[in-house]
Chain A
């Protein structure tokens, strides 16, 4: 699956997207974040505060406990500042 990073996350990780194959225990977006943090020091810091993470599955906003099975694209987003 593809993961997209935006704004501060993209900048701090030094990449806007990556293709990943998470292990079977990764069921929800929250699990995915835990797995990303475990494999990458930069990601561990960037995703330290869960209340500052928004997420989308296939271009629809999703809660962190949403299951990711069947998803093609997961986006991890800092809190929005538009409008």
Chain B
């Protein structure tokens, strides 16, 4: 289980290939990559993520361990950047390996839902109209809550 919290950029393809190469017997690998969003109607020049690295490592490790147990995954890895990122750059990558696809998909989704609410990162967007903290999205709480009733 690899958990990395870093300011350096990462190569999503290289990380995915390395994860697959390490789990050739798994049968199913799911990779999710989250990118800095910027749309023509809501342009973002850059995104700065503030982080509490020690807490981030502890919480993400706990979440990844939970995901492995809950979905009987072979493995789960998370890479999360902080610092200042440009539009379209990768922010986060979650990778899961399992015997079959259902567990690999569910494990990746579970990890992303919990990362949104429990991993100590805070986004600040620089847009043409100014700099502002991204507000916590209540929909993220709902996405997380669906795992708590199962």
Residues of chain A whose beta carbon lies under 8 Å from any beta carbon of chain B: 4, 6-8, 10, 52, 54, 56, 59-61, 75, 77-83
Contacts and interface: CB of A to CB of B under 8 A. Distances in A.
Interface stretch (B12-20, B68-76, B114-122): B114-122
Main DSSP-derived SS at the A contact region: mixed
Main DSSP-derived SS at the B contact region: mixed
Q: Is the interface on chain B under 10, 10 to 19, 20 to 34, or 35 or more residues?
A: 20 to 34
A83 B52 contact: no
B133 A8 contact: yes
Interface string B110-146: 0010011111111110000000011111001000000
A52 B135 CA distance: 11
A6 B50 contact: yes
B134 A56 contact: no
B89 interface: no
A50 B19 CA distance: 41
Contacts of A78: 122, 133, 136
B133 A7 contact: yes
A38 B76 CA distance: 44
Contacts of B58: 59-60
B49 A82 contact: yes
B19 to A, nearest CB: 19
B133 A56 contact: no
B55 A81 contact: no
Nearest to B5: A82
B34 interface: yes
Contacts of A10: 50
Contacts of B140: 83
A82 B122 contact: yes
Contacts of A59: 52, 54-55, 58
15 contacts: A8-B133, A60-B55, A61-B59, A77-B52, A77-B120, A78-B136, A79-B136, A80-B118, A81-B116, A81-B133, A81-B134, A81-B137, A82-B91, A83-B34, A83-B91
